[in-house]
Amino acid sequence: MTHPRPDIHRLFRPRAIAVIGASHDREKIGFKILQNIVTAGYSGAIHPVNPKGGEILGLPVRASLAEIEGELDVVCTCVPAKHVFDSVRACASRGVKFNLVITSGFSEIGNAEEEKAIVAHAREQGMRILGPNIFGMYSAAAALDMTFGPGGIVPGNVAIITQSGALGLAMIGKTAAENIGISAMVSVGNKADIQESDLLEYLVEDESTLSILMYIEGVRDGGPLVEVLQRAARVKPVVAIKSGRSKRGAAAAASHTGSLAGSDEIFEAIMRQCGVLRAESVREGFDLCKFLARTRTPRGRGTVIITNGGGIGVLATDACEKYGVSLLDDAQDLRATFGPVTPSFGSTRNPIDLTGGATADHYDRALDAALANDSIHSVVALYCETAMFDVATLAPMVAQNYARYQDAGKPIVFSAFGGGDVESTLGRLSRDRVPIFSDVYDAVHCLGGLYRHFENFAHPLRRSDEAPIDLAVVGEILAGARAEGRTFLLAHEGRRLMEAVGIPLPRSRVARTLEEAVRAAEEIGYPVVLKVVSRDILHKSDAGGVALDLENRDEVIDAYQAIYRNCRAAVPAANISGVEVSEMVRKGLELIVGARRDPGFGPIVMFGLGGIYVEVLKDVTFRAVPTSRAEVLTMMKEIRAFPLLMGVRGEERKDIDSVVDAVIRIATLIRSCPGISDIEVNPLVAYEEGEGSKAVDVRVLLAALEEDGTDA
Ligand code: COA
């Protein structure tokens, strides 16, 4: 009998804990963890376990779990790898709910079998494993520091989930140094059982967590992760740092944790789909989380830049454009608001330029005016060091104005640029959690993140859409290919598949003789295209197996004979089963719609500009499946060529609805048919509105069979 899964809340709020491998040796991990638990002030029962017995840090040491009375919610295992399975067995039979396996030496070094066996055993007994290969976890809700970090974690409102151990450990010290308060920090290591999605279930609800930072190397649980991230990002800001962006980085990540780092474009697009903010570096991630945890949602999109320097004002304007921050441009309103507080040789056009002569007093008055104006929803305040501004007045000016803006619920960010005194003021203010940065781009990036998060509230969670497809026919087609030992579909099978899925195709027939080819061409109507049908010829054009734009019967006869001649010469052993005669497709906009099974995210769908240059232009984007029609439309707007769909230079708008429909149908197919690994419709030719679109070429690859020989 499999036991029910324990409630994830107990991991963060355990009533009693044990440390297996608690050591008497002050240099060992088993000692450090116990020391952190005791020092951080956990108030539940703490049981060190070690066969040597005795006492550590004043706590009686139990020789085994059997000596401990009462329930045990969480156990931290820090014994060498060869003892871990025994320890897990003992915990599972003792009814322990969560086991944090600190120990290294499992899938990350190729020992995946034992890791799997440990997790399978634990799950059967209703115990869940965090790790292995982790530094532990911290939960402010229980004042529990069960890590071997440096201690001194500042409790607060930012939750961190990290796949990297060393970086996570370093984050403990770094967050403390920067006074970033932590609500929870969890090391997920090899993610053999507990995944980010499980932890997010708790963090979404945890009221003390106001923003969530995730450091991800590779995704394992794509489906549940996408589902919970979509919910989470509508409740609180979620920021993801993904390493393995570069090809070399991805290879390093894969060997590092034994997980496959997914392609960066896919990750990026799916994070957008979820409403998750992406940080390029740990620094950016910290800045965003710290700012977003403390800042209320703006009431609108009108931002004003106030500066004493024209140059940084322009830089900030560029940064606003880059990060999607809209500058208020009602010249009359700006003049009325800032005219009285700006010198005549300054500027009241956004950026508001107080000029190099500005003092703290000038800033106070301009910031007062911005605060009082309800059509100004957020402010970027910039300062360049000048001899006119007494640096000693910088800290009080910034701190006081920040406090007033916080009270009023109006977001503000500061940037101050100058010498040593400015830098040290900035450091102090930042430690006091005032959003101030030396680079204007960093300041505006935070505000941009706030606005991107704000957009999540404008989009309610989109329901998923599916299209009816004929799965019985799909099954037949796949079985036919399998019976012939193929892992790809032939052209006519691909066409039949599109019919079963409901995507329109050009008119077409397969002809086995010259007479049949001529008859088919006359029925379809000229001009037509002829293509060789042969499982042995994958690259038909290269083999001379394609003839385009045939206008009449004579051209069809010539082309038919030439195709047979060419293909026999190019691939002498090829078995040619006929020639496909199809309508010559009218010119339209060539798009690509694809889908595949991503190792991390599971089924995903791709859309972009198609045709022969797809590899060069790479104007494509992705979504996790299931998805909705509304989301597909958002996805389509992401490609650079989107204006072509809307109609440019006198061309009419294309039939966007028919393209959305094709994407949804391909998404439904990949989701409902595990036997298919890759589908690519290229080109899908889109015509003017009302005239639909047609799948001109289709490639389908089949997935490896399940062990029982079925299409799963
Ligand atoms: N039950 C309870 N205690 C046990 C035990 C068992 N079955 N077997 C051994 N112990 C005790 C040992 O007696 C020892 O205590 P002692 O020092 O008082 O004698 C303690 O557990 C630790 O065992 P030891 O053999 O000394 O191991 P260690 O401390 O050198 O290493 C790990 C243990 C888990 C730290 C090590 O194997 C490891 O995996 N290190 C890497 C951890 C890591 O980097 N994780 C990822 C971070 S991001």
DSSP strands (E only) in 198-284? 211-216, 238-242, 277-279
Q: Using the mean position of ligand 1's atoms as its centre, give its distance from the Cα of residue 138 in Å.
A: 20
Measured in whole angstroms, how far is the alpha carbon of residue 299 from the centre of its chain?
27
Within-domain flag for 383: yes
Pairing relation of β-strands 136-139 and 182-187? antiparallel
Residues of the chain where predicted confidence (pLDDT) is lower than 50: 254-262, 707-709, 712
Q: Strand pairing of 55-56 and 59-60?
A: antiparallel
Kindly report the backbone phi and psi dihedral angles of residue 708, in degrees, each rounded to the nearest multiple of 5, phi listed first: -85, 10
Place of tokens 């923003």: 211
Residues 453 and 503 placed together within one structural domain of the fold: no
Statement to judge: residues 652 and 559 lie in one domain: no
Q: Helix or strand or coil: residue 83?
A: helix
The CATH number of the domain holding residue 661 is 3.30.470.20
Return the pLDDT at 614.
81
How far apart (Å, rounded) are the C-alpha atoms in residues 133 and 191? 9
89 lines ligand 1 (CB under 6 A): no
| Sequence-distant (≥ 6) Cβ neighbours of residue 299 within 8 angstroms | 374, 377, 409, 410
The answer to whether the CB of 380 falls within 8 A of the CB of 306 is yes
Tell me if 456 CB under 6 Å of ligand 1: no
Ligand 1 atom 16: residue of nearest CA: 23
H/E run at residue 383: strand 378-384
What CATH number corresponds to the domain at position 449? 3.40.50.261
Can you give the residue range of the structural domain that contains 632?
Answer: 589-702
Cβ atoms of residues 566 and 620 within 8 Å: no
Nearest atom in ligand 1 to the alpha carbon of residue 78 is: 34
Number of domains into which the chain is organized: 3
Question: 417 and 333 share a domain?
Answer: yes
Per DSSP, what are the bridge partners of residue 46?
17
pLDDT of residue 251: 57
Confidence at residue 255, expressed as pLDDT on a 0 to 100 scale: 41
pLDDT at 615: 77
Look up residue 250 and give its two tokens: 């991805």
Does a structural domain hold residue 408?
yes
The answer to the question of residue 656 being in a domain is: yes
Question: What are the C-alpha distances in Å from 700 to residues 90, 497, 669, 671?
Answer: 49, 9, 11, 14
CATH code of 566's domain: 3.30.1490.20
How many angstroms separate the CA atoms of 321 and 29, rounded?
Answer: 49
Nearest one of 110, 101, 94, 127 to 4, comparing CA atoms: 127
Tokens of 495: 């066409």
Question: In the prediction, which pLDDT does 249 show?
Answer: 56
Joined tokens for residue 458: 């404008």
Q: Are residues 319 and 396 in the same domain?
A: yes
Per-residue confidence (pLDDT) for residue 246, from 0 to 100: 60
Cα of 333 from ligand 1 centre, angstroms = 68
pLDDT score at 7 = 92
Tell me whether residue 527 is in a domain. Answer: yes
Residue 255 in any domain: the answer is no
- Would you state the pLDDT for residue 261? 35
Asked if residue 330 is part of any domain, the answer here is yes
Give residue 141 CA to ligand 1 midpoint distance, Å: 27
CA of 53 to the centre of ligand 1 (A): 15
